[in-house]
Amino acid sequence: MDTKNSLINFSLFIFIFAFAFVFSVDALSAPTNTFYGVLALLGYLVSLGGSLFNGLLAKRDGEAMSLWYFTYAVIVGIITVWYLTRCGTAFGWW
Whether the model clears a pTM of 0.85, i.e. scores above it, the answer is: yes
Q: What is the mean pLDDT of each run of 10 residues along the chain (94 residues)?
A: 75 94 90 86 95 92 89 96 90 77
Quote the CA–CA distance of 40 and 20 in Å, as a whole number. 4
CB neighbour burial string for 8-27, b if at least 16 within 10 angstroms, e if fewer = ebbeebeebbeebbebbeeb
Amino acid at 62: G
Q: Could you give phi then psi for residue 31, rounded to 5 degrees? A: -70, -10
**Three-state DSSP state, 34:** helix
